[in-house]
Chains A and B, each alone.
Chain A
Amino acid sequence: MSTLLESIFSVEFFFAVLRVSTPLIFPALGVAITAMSGNINIGLEGIMLIAAFTGVIVSIYTESLMLALLAGVASGVFFGAALGYFHLKLKADIILAAVALNFLASGLTIFLLIVITGGRNTSALRSLTFPSFNIPVLQSIPVLGPILSGHNIMTYVAFLSVFVYYVVLFKTPLGLRIRAVGQNPDAARSVGINVDRVKLYALMISGVFGALGGLYLSMGYVSWFSRDMVAGRGFIAVAAATMGGNLSFGTLLGSMLFGLVNTATIYISSLDIPSDLVQSIPYLATVIVLAIYSARNFAPRKRRAVSTHHGENEHHEKKP
């Protein structure tokens, strides 16, 4: 047990937690913003994959990090908008459309990868990567410095995105509309809000977040693209956002909980602890949290329960 504690409470461990959490925070924010507009978005898996692929290819052909970033984000937004087009305009169920788009992303990226490289040796494609970044004053502080400083720049962008998410959702007219549409689309429509357009915007913003997560994966976390490299992170994001009640700080904590557990399983795999079971805990916890949320909303005194629920949300939101 002491070796476990030693290895877990080390600087490297917490550094790794931040690193592993980064590609979860981005898509979780994407899930959260669509959830706020009243849709469940399980398409982040595909959005991340497309962006990860686009980033790598563009960075290799243009040798420009900036263009890779822009192209990657554009591909994510396009993908989010495509999901919106099929759901809102062509009246497809959003869950099924997202499943289809995830398949499309998986197939299309590998198909193009093989076509572009003309062969099977796809790992030969070395992508440019986003730089790491030392925070000037912070890095010299003991313990805290080595944990927080020296990360890939996208990790800091991820934390910044949490703040951006909060501002967009709670301090801008668009955010107000998104929340209004999510809580009661009919009421929103009655005051002249174009419900479909607001939902489309939410999906496109989720495309931005998802794309950043995907770009980090292929151009920071590693420096190449590989088959289905997102590996379920888009689905974990649904869990993380749900756990955090789709609020900014909650979603961050939810993502980091999954990051923590995933890192811990790597560290304890050498010890005599069933790491498979440990890994299942956050998912079980999500089911339980979700059940409690909905049980509260479903209580007989429904109206009161709902209003206090949202009152608490506001309270939480002011903290960060």
Chain B
Amino acid sequence: MQRFLLKNFDAVRTAIAILIGMLICVLLIILVSSSPGDSISIFLFGPFSSQRTIASIFEIATPIIFTGVALSIAFQAEQFYIGAEGAFYITAAVGTAFAVSTSMPWFFHIPLILLVSGTFGGLWGLIPGYLKARFNTSEVVTALMLNFVALYAGLYLINNFFRDRAAGFMVSFRLPESAELPRFIDRTRIHWGVVLAIVVAVWAYYFLYHTRTGYEIRTVGHNPKFARFGGINVFKVIIIVHILTGAIAGMGGMVEIMGIHRRFNWQDLPGQGWDGVIVAIIGRMHPLYVVAAAIFLGYLRVGGQQLRLMSDVPFELVLVIQSAIILLITARAFLSQWEARMVIRQATEEAES
């Protein structure tokens, strides 16, 4: 038991953090709800109550898998690129512009749009990446600024050149049918983007853990000095990491448009970039766990929506829980004493036997 706990301590820590988060949530519901029992069961089991709600979980998770996987790559190299939000947004705007102005059969159109948006997203990520790699400019600040640039540039592009004036509000023209990712389950909005997201996650896993460049990325994250003395080209690694992060996050934005909205309708940053930070942390920056984390976040969100619809507990409960969970997971010293005690106990046991 002890050996098992120690071997999987990160997973145990994550599980405990999630458990504490859920306990806080139950506690808050008991405090504020007039019928706590009902509210708790609505929150926990509501997401599984119908086909519609189960579908919602995956619809919400799809774009977050993209941003979460993208950020895992960056975080593994200790690059705190928090520009997924901006990349997600502006790539969707540029991709929409491209999709609306071209027409061809879907089997060319869809891959081409994904290629264009991936390339653009990569270039977008290259800006903070180059500055970091060349001049050691803080990618945190540049990425944060570029989020705003993305917002305003995207608004400019869509509202001035691709705005559908026939629609009552500020949205772009509808995508041509050849650019829509088909939905494959009746009466839901689950679309092929979810398959694409999982493919990207599996690829990212393979890339990070089974290729040389992936190894270099993780080494740079663990110890950049060691990496440099070990002959790793840190400049190259940082550039690659930022390009990949921008490309995957950006592609996620376009996929969300192609699968769900079918036209660009964001007048503000939509938030999936920040959600990506959450799932990257909960998934401990491992692309495959990130998929699970994104589905978990989708589950929490749908639970929150159910609460809003059917109880007196506000949706924002979910924001409280998710921040409590990520705070505990990012706190590296959380439970570290327990771990240290177990290590010592195990060592003495082994020495005695």
Contact = CB atoms under 8 A, between A and B. Distances in A.
Interface in A92-111: 92-93, 95-97, 99-101, 103-104, 106-108, 110-111
Interface in B311-353: 314, 316-320, 322-324, 326-327, 330-334
B171 interface: no
A107 B28 CA distance: 13
A54 to B, nearest CB: 16
Contacts of A96: 80, 277, 281, 326, 330
B131 interface: yes
Given A92-B332, A276-B152, A40 B140 contact: yes
B11 interface: no
Max chain B C-beta neighbours (<10 A), residue from A91, A274, A283: A283
B115 interface: no
B64 to A, nearest CB: 14
Contacts of A91: 331-333
A287 interface: yes
A65 B142 CA distance: 38
A40 B141 contact: yes
Given A115-B314, A287-B127, A294 B152 contact: no
Given A107-B319, A110-B316, A294-B135, A99 B142 contact: no
A92 B327 contact: yes
A123 B152 CA distance: 29
A291 B135 contact: yes
A99 B323 CA distance: 8
A286 B140 CA distance: 13
The size class of the interface chain A forms with chain B is: 35 or more
A181 B97 CA distance: 49
Interface in A32-81: 40, 42
A173 B75 CA distance: 37
Interface string A268-292: 0000001011011001101100110
Interface stretch (B143-151, B186-194, B201-209, B236-244): B143-151
A290 B134 CA distance: 13
Given A95-B82, A242-B141, A100 B323 contact: yes
Contact of A283 (B140, B149, B278, B330): B149
Contacts of B223: none
Interface in A227-247: 232, 235-236, 238-239, 242
Given A40-B140, A96-B281, A110-B316, A276 B153 contact: yes
Contact of A42 (B144, B152, B331): B144
Interface in B32-89: 32, 80, 82
Contacts of A294: 131, 135-138
B137 A108 contact: no
B144 A239 contact: yes
B6 to A, nearest CB: 19
A111 B314 contact: yes
Q: Is the interface of B mostly helix, strand, loop or mixed?
A: helix
Contacts of A40: 138, 140-141
A187 interface: no
B160 interface: yes
A315 interface: no
B159 interface: yes
A4 interface: no
Contacts of A42: 82, 140, 144
Nearest to B78: A93
Contacts of A110: 314, 316, 319
Given A86-B327, A92-B327, A97-B330, A106 B145 contact: no
A5 interface: no
A48 B179 CA distance: 42
Contacts of A232: 148
Nearest to B325: A100
A103 B324 CA distance: 9
Contacts of A293: 137
A124 interface: no
Max chain B C-beta neighbours (<10 A), residue from A107, A110, A235, A274: A107
Interface in A1-41: 40
Contacts of A138: none
Q: What 10 pairs across the A-B complex have the smallest Cβ distances?
A: A107-B319, A90-B331, A280-B152, A104-B323, A276-B156, A103-B323, A92-B330, A91-B332, A294-B137, A111-B316
Given A96-B281, A238-B145, 4 more contacts: A99-B274, A100-B327, A283-B152, A291-B142
Interface of B: 28, 32, 80, 82, 127, 131, 134-138, 140-142, 144-149, 151-153, 155-156, 159-160, 274, 277-278, 281, 314, 316-320, 322-324, 326-327, 330-334
26 contacts: A91-B332, A92-B332, A93-B80, A95-B82, A96-B330, A97-B331, A100-B327, A101-B323, A103-B274, A104-B327, A106-B316, A107-B316, A107-B318, A107-B320, A107-B323, A111-B317, A111-B320, A235-B148, A238-B141, A239-B145, A277-B156, A280-B148, A280-B153, A287-B146, A294-B135, A298-B136
